[in-house]
Structure 1
């Protein structure tokens, strides 16, 4: 029979010779140079026979035998022992008690080895499942031809499907409406290559490439669904054009999702429920190849908690789907299963980010405290406005009062005043020249040098004064922002006795910030919304829009602290009230990271709250465009 054999042998020359011989007999060989590798291969599953050297580095063969016989699902696995150390009938009898089917003492003959292998395998050949075969071909980067049961021949290059030949392809085009039945009979003789469609003017090259890729994906998916067998022949043959590469990890993931409802979690847990999963280096190499659903991403968060397989599955709403996903991760070599908790491996290559990870929630209490450097960065734009052109900020003279006292006086003066009153202006007698003169008159003394000499409460108040002047000036100097400000200021619903109170000021700053966002003036938007947040930190929309302004402000690009602050504000916004904009903003942040699956989930939440949410609609359009582009194969590359 054709079997999947684990060959655990530390002698490289012997291991390679036996591997070549077994492959010539039609077997698939998983080679392991030490005990740890052998156990990892056994835990991944799919092994039909173990060829075991008793003297292995790491974990010895006898210890592996004991683990096999005490592990559910592996206790009946046939084992052939190969040894050059433990000779004699006594050792052979002891091995037999451990369920060893054949005991070979080195050196052994080719005939004795072949007879031992054959004696341990069923007489009726049982070919490996297609999913296991595809994983093995992908792992070994095999190049050759895979022939399915329906005679479809698929060209694999370095473990990835690249092209195919199938007599059913033209019928598929007719069935899907891309080719007329009459044209099929008239222009396409039996055995014609796919490029004949273009040469005959029946289809464009782009459409042919797209439909070829969809057909190949469907053929493999149907074969996996039906549990078909396949035969692989090594050796490169020129593939038929056009090329239509398919990502095997993505295909296998989609197949596991499709069959999840029929996957038996009970059987899976009976075999492997007591084992502990641990991430391998392949986890990091292959995770970014996949676009996982939200439930699967949530499950990944449970993997590093030292839980058994049964505990992880029990924590998920759909147990069959969870067990199916874990089975997929183990099959693809992204997880190993161990009898005791084992630390996760890390990436064995440089990796900037991992797309398929849970959404990071940053609590307000965990946000880093504002340092002096942060403070300088935050007010630097305002300081620049204060200093103005060269020579604008004259040094303080000896006649001026102490700077700290001036700060205290200015801070008291801005209380309970609207933006006009701060500069001694009124709506009826307003001019931009008067605004500019008043602004620079008030801020001239706030030079960068003087500002940085302050500390403690005075520094905080100076920051508030400077930020308040800058926000007032930016709002009144912009026509659109000023009109919005005047509308709110003239409203009678907010305010006491015509005087500005915190609620009025928070609304003014919030509306000003939204105007600046619409104008894509994100630095001023951040300043205005920060003031609104200071006045009313429990307003959900204010938290959300401030997060978006910080995220979009070019000055914050690459700042981890700014990104954490955005996440904290969005989390806070969603905790206080279900805000459609907060879901949209978080969706775009995820989209920018390339995490389309989580981004789509956030956009859908936003649209459920408000089906006209503009940013959510734009995000969904972009995701759909990416999927269409992927279907057409525009951004596909051969893996490896």
Structure 2
């Protein structure tokens, strides 16, 4: 624990030596060689500890101590006495009555000196390290004011830092080129505070919010890294506007990542213990933004491994140790002498964002029940026919439509794509193709489809799929040329292997074009046809998953989301492609699991450094992090 120390010692050599010892431990030290100089410093600055020699020139140390104890502002200041003259238990007892924390007789050792300083800081009003103090305030939901070094006051509301007042803020803006010194001199703010900067037109309100939140975040992280022990006043008055609240668990996570970590000391203390997730973990985990390494580390908990064993398998064990130490400090993790199982959440929780990627096994068609089918299509049925009137008996027109489906199905079996639309290669035209295609598909309306079932429904789907295949092939110049070559090679008819391969390629390319046009419904249909013809092609599986995911008609379908995951898993099992990793990254990103999404995008870019989806995902993650650092208004309050 560190603090701001006033060292009063007239022996300059000893003063320099003790100052070096304190600064090496991270304390900020001011020195005085007389009682009068020390009193002036105490009245003008804030200190966490007074280290005082009793024998001083002019005002003695005893007189200075009396002044301190009579001052309302200084009466609780911790004091450590050093003396080579006033020896014995009697003097020590008299000093204790004046609130002295420790009484050191010269000569004393370095360890005794540091022990006395640390003990005194623990007892003082600023005795708790900032980390511990913030956690207590967060858990209890308390409000108050923290006084940090440099004159910065942080206002805590309901357990979280929400605003600040600091003389360092304007220099911070000038250093970042958000303010110009000349403008400050020409248009000085009318009154103290941050809002007058907006009143004077020096900053926009949005920019003030961004920079205020960034300053507050950096200031607190710096204080946490330095292990400051600030004063805390439970009174909360005159909170400076605007409010810029910070998420405390996320702030502590960032500070843990920024601070140096002594791995050897941590392993000596906790290396042989078994870590376990607590119920508090589930209450706080969704407030953090963990990386893939951290999420993977958590999967090793509760499996009978000690901290030492877990960290030994990491590429960066120090970072993993800092992460576990941070979780334990927040009560999200407990360290036990014996193996124990992780606790479960004690409240309903729909989703845990910081969890590993689930690999979904491919679903077999035979396992789908009638109830599954009803759940899968119920939303689509409501969109087409509404919620009532679905039990009407088949009319004569419905029976006629079933017979029409049967005739169409029989007709397409022995005809090539030109013949299906009543054309020949010589009479072909794009306008005629378009007119014939829409004439044939118009009769397959959603209302009529809803009256079909069983084998007839399947045949109707086959007919529409075949019409789409034929239209997509003949409407594409390149695909049409290939199809003409196939016809000239006397491979006439449907169902041949070469035809399947060609059609799979055609439908795949058509699906990609539809995706680029953001016509996700047609993209899904084309890619589904390609997948039917080439179910083992990795890229087809990946793009089909992406088209299903992007299709607005599937947004309410849990079955569609499960199918996307299954297809991406199948794709990656067949071949590791950049597209599959990138698509899975975007699905994770939409769930708010930025850490895992970043890992997927990085895998994609290792395979293809120019993959557009992965690059776009990385840009969005970077923008989110910058927005989080800068504190955009909509991310604070939205």
- TM-score interval for Structure 1 and Structure 2 normalised by the shorter chain: 0.5 to 0.7
What SS is found at the alignment partner of 1:352? Answer: coil
1:355: which partner in 2? Answer: 353
C-alpha spacing 1:481/1:130, structure 2 compared with 1 (3 Å): farther
TM-score under structure 2 length normalisation: 0.68
Residue 617 of structure 2: which of 616, 619, 627 is its match?
Answer: 619
Residue 576 of structure 1 and its aligned partner are, at CA, apart by 2.8
Query: In 1, Cα distance between the equivalents of 2:488 and 2:290?
Result: 48
Residue 160 of structure 1 and its aligned partner are, at CA, apart by 0.9
Query: In 1, Cα distance between the equivalents of 2:490 and 2:581?
Result: 35
1:154-303 alignment runs, 5 A limit: 154-184=154-184, 188=188, 192-259=192-259, 262-303=260-301
Matched, 1:394 2:399: yes
* Cα offsets for 1:443-500 (capped at 9, x unmatched): 99x9766642x5xxxx9xx73x443321232355579965564255246799884665
* Cα offsets for 1:200-247 (capped at 9, x unmatched): 332222222221211111111111222222121112212112222222
C-alpha spacing 1:396/1:142, structure 2 compared with 1 (3 Å): closer
Query: In 2, Cα distance between the equivalents of 1:622 and 1:494?
Result: 50
What SS is found at the alignment partner of 2:399? Answer: coil
2:63: which partner in 1? Answer: none
Matched, 1:505 2:510: no
What SS is found at the alignment partner of 1:347? Answer: coil
Matched-pair contact (CA < 8 Å) for 1:245–1:636: no
Residue 319 of structure 1 and its aligned partner are, at CA, apart by 1.1
1:132: which partner in 2? Answer: 132
Matched-pair contact (CA < 8 Å) for 1:193–1:240: yes
* Cα offsets for 1:295-350 (capped at 9, x unmatched): 11222222343433233223322111111111111111212223334443333444
* Cα offsets for 1:39-90 (capped at 9, x unmatched): xxxxxxxxxxxxxxxxxxxxxxxxxxxxxxxxxxxxxxxxxxxxxxxxxxxx
* Cα offsets for 1:598-619 (capped at 9, x unmatched): 2233334434444543433443
Residue 369 of structure 1 and its aligned partner are, at CA, apart by 3.0
Matched-pair contact (CA < 8 Å) for 2:474–2:480: no
Query: In 2, Cα distance between the equivalents of 1:551 and 1:243?
Result: 39
1:485-500 alignment runs, 5 A limit: 485-490=479-484, 497=491, 500=498
2:632: which partner in 1? Answer: 633
Structure 2: which 5+ runs fail to align?
3-98, 100-114, 386-393
Residue 312 of structure 2: which of 314, 320, 325 is its match?
Answer: 314
1:62: which partner in 2? Answer: none
Matched-pair contact (CA < 8 Å) for 1:600–1:623: yes
Query: In 2, Cα distance between the equivalents of 1:367 and 1:237?
Result: 66
Query: In 1, Cα distance between the equivalents of 2:303 and 2:439?
Result: 62
Matched-pair contact (CA < 8 Å) for 2:504–2:530: yes
C-alpha spacing 1:340/1:496, structure 2 compared with 1 (3 Å): farther
2:33: which partner in 1? Answer: none
Matched-pair contact (CA < 8 Å) for 1:505–1:532: yes
1:346: which partner in 2? Answer: 344
Residue 378 of structure 1 and its aligned partner are, at CA, apart by 7.6
Matched-pair contact (CA < 8 Å) for 2:601–2:614: yes
What SS is found at the alignment partner of 2:634? Answer: coil
Query: In 2, Cα distance between the equivalents of 1:450 and 1:180?
Result: 74
Query: In 2, Cα distance between the equivalents of 1:349 and 1:481?
Result: 56
2:558: which partner in 1? Answer: 560
Matched, 1:467 2:450: no
Matched-pair contact (CA < 8 Å) for 2:398–2:451: no
1:53-132 alignment runs, 5 A limit: 124-126=120-122, 127-132=127-132
Matched, 1:145 2:139: no
C-alpha spacing 1:428/1:466, structure 2 compared with 1 (3 Å): farther
What SS is found at the alignment partner of 1:277? Answer: strand
Query: In 1, Cα distance between the equivalents of 2:624 and 2:466?
Result: 43
* Cα offsets for 1:156-176 (capped at 9, x unmatched): 111111111222222222222
Query: In 2, Cα distance between the equivalents of 1:298 and 1:494?
Result: 57
Matched-pair contact (CA < 8 Å) for 1:485–1:511: no
Worse-superposed segment, 139-148 or 628-637: 628-637
C-alpha spacing 1:129/1:510, structure 2 compared with 1 (3 Å): same
Matched-pair contact (CA < 8 Å) for 1:586–1:599: yes
* Cα offsets for 1:15-37 (capped at 9, x unmatched): xxxxxxxxxxxxxxxxxxxxxxx
Query: In 2, Cα distance between the equivalents of 1:540 and 1:494?
Result: 31
* Cα offsets for 1:178-201 (capped at 9, x unmatched): 222344456558993223322333
Residue 545 of structure 1 and its aligned partner are, at CA, apart by 0.8
Residue 440 of structure 1 and its aligned partner are, at CA, apart by 8.3
Query: In 2, Cα distance between the equivalents of 1:379 and 1:419?
Result: 31
C-alpha spacing 1:546/1:447, structure 2 compared with 1 (3 Å): closer
What is the CA RMSD across the aligned residues, in angstroms?
Answer: 4.3
What SS is found at the alignment partner of 2:633? Answer: coil
Matched-pair contact (CA < 8 Å) for 1:586–1:602: yes
* Cα offsets for 1:553-607 (capped at 9, x unmatched): 3443333332222112112223333323222221221122122232233334434
Query: In 2, Cα distance between the equivalents of 1:377 and 1:123?
Result: 66
* Cα offsets for 1:326-382 (capped at 9, x unmatched): 111111121222333444333344433222111221132689933345567889989
Residue 418 of structure 1 and its aligned partner are, at CA, apart by 5.0
TM-score under structure 1 length normalisation: 0.67
